[in-house]
Structure 1
Amino acid sequence: MNSNGKTWKSILLAGLIALGLGAQQQPAHAADQETLIVAGGCFWCVEADFEKVKGVTEVVSGYTGGTMENPTYKDVTAGGTGHYEAARIHYDPAQVTREQLLHMFFRSIDPTDAGGQFCDRGESYRTAIFASDPNVVEAAREAKAEAEKALGQDIVTPILPRQTFYEAEDYHQDYYKSDERIAFSSVGLGVKRSTAYKRYRNGCGRDARVRALWGDAAPFVN
């Protein structure tokens, strides 16, 4: 987030933060499923992208990589906690592999930007892959090297040790498809969250930058 604290997203959510909505409970997942934790800027966008992928059963928005226990959205976006907005991707490895997910991840972000993503600036919007299992670390390294070669530019997205993942507040989950309305926001009065999300994503320039960077290789940009 920039020094004035006035990103599109923080303004849009000002009223929601005040409501103090409770955290979402994690649903049960099949034992044969695996998870991948990534940070790609706005977690609404990462969730919306990867829930389109066949074999992905759920994407949970949350916070990881910082020092504060049980951080809130307000804590994280204010800065100083070290947390990233992150997404925990639950997937069936019989339908989609971690290598495929990592390939798509790099091509859904701007991995050359160390200061945030698109209009969202600051530590909470940095990109990263969180992994401790040696197989996942190796897959992430290979995917990063391959993406760097394909892009022809230095990639700054780090591969970091997996840490505690804290689920974000309930109102963040499935934000991109929610029909609940926001009383007031920077994109209008009484608009659906799904509408607010689309306006935010377009206004933030995410798809335009990804398209300019990756062209036809971008998996989630029309």
Structure 2
Amino acid sequence: MRTQLFAAVAAASLLFANAAPAAGALKTAIFAGGCFWSAEHDIEHTKGVTDVVVGYAGGTTKNPNYDHHDGFLESIKVTYDPSVISYAQLVDAFFHHIDPTDPSGQFCDQGPSYRTAVFTADPQEKAEAELIKSQVGQQLRMPIKTMILGPTTFWMGESYHQHYAEKNPGNYMAYRIGCGRDRSLKAVWAKPPGGNERGR
């Protein structure tokens, strides 16, 4: 199934791309994946990703912060090299670091600001993100609750939240283990031999 997924992604990339991206022409993408510490930590190790910062997106007011961000999602802004990883491949990587079937949050972090979303910059990105979402739904055989949204303003989070896992490894791992993130991710994405049904 994963091979079929990447084949579809590759076909979509060829369909939507007007020209091969120039090496070194970096782009950005915005995702909401629950706790932004974990969303940053997980995606920054993806090949082709050059930088990740955390913050807030999807709201309508100005200057949100950690204590006051009603209407916003905890989010990450990913800088990547499209000559190394396509937008569709990046979206696919993001999906595989979250539970896209949860409409209310992620793991122990539940509530409006922890819902998941892909913020798209233009119709091409929206089409590619919707394709990946559809493929993930077929793979997991469950309704996918991650939202595909349009352009948004990204507000940078506080400095003490940036690269939190790297700067505070002990505290972060205690949180991650206590939250059960890895155990839950394994359960979401586990497949029995043949990959025909979602693991239980």
TM-score category (smaller protein):
0.7 to 0.9
2:89 to 100, 105, 113: 100
1:194 corresponds to which letter in structure 2? P
2:108 to 119, 122, 129: 119
2:61 to 55, 64, 68: 68
Matched with 1:208 is 183
Q: How far apart in 1 are the matches of 2:82 and 2:121?
A: 18
Question: Does structure 1 residue 196 correspond to structure 2 residue 185?
Answer: no
- Match runs of 1:121-140 below 5 Å: 121-140=110-129
Q: How far apart in 1 are the matches of 2:41 and 2:145?
A: 23
2:34 to 28, 34, 41: 41
CA RMSD of superposed structures (Å): 1.5
Q: How far apart in 2 are the matches of 1:89 and 1:139?
A: 17
C-alpha deviation, 1:70, in angstroms: 0.5
C-alpha deviation, 1:163, in angstroms: 1.1
Matched with 1:59 is 52
1:175-201 deviation digits (Å, cap 9, x = unpaired): 1111xxxxxxxxxxxxxx221011101
Q: How far apart in 2 are the matches of 1:152 and 1:84?
A: 26
Equivalent residue of 1:156, what SS?
coil
Matched with 2:72 is 83
2:185 corresponds to which letter in structure 1? V
Q: How far apart in 1 are the matches of 2:85 and 2:150?
A: 23
TM-score for the superposition, normalised by structure 2: 0.82
Gaps in structure 1 of 5+ consecutive residues: 1-29, 179-192, 218-222
Q: How far apart in 2 are the matches of 1:158 and 1:49?
A: 19
1:132-185 deviation digits (Å, cap 9, x = unpaired): 31111011000000000000000011111121100000001111111xxxxxxx
Equivalent residue of 2:136, what SS?
helix
C-alpha deviation, 1:215, in angstroms: 2.1
TM-score for the superposition, normalised by structure 1: 0.74
Q: Runs of 4+ in structure 1 displaced over 4 angstroms?
A: none
C-alpha deviation, 1:31, in angstroms: 7.0
The alignment-based identity, stated in percent, is 46
8 Å contact 2:24–2:83 — kept in the other structure?
no
Gaps in structure 2 of 5+ consecutive residues: 1-22, 196-200
- Match runs of 1:7-46 below 5 Å: 32-46=25-39
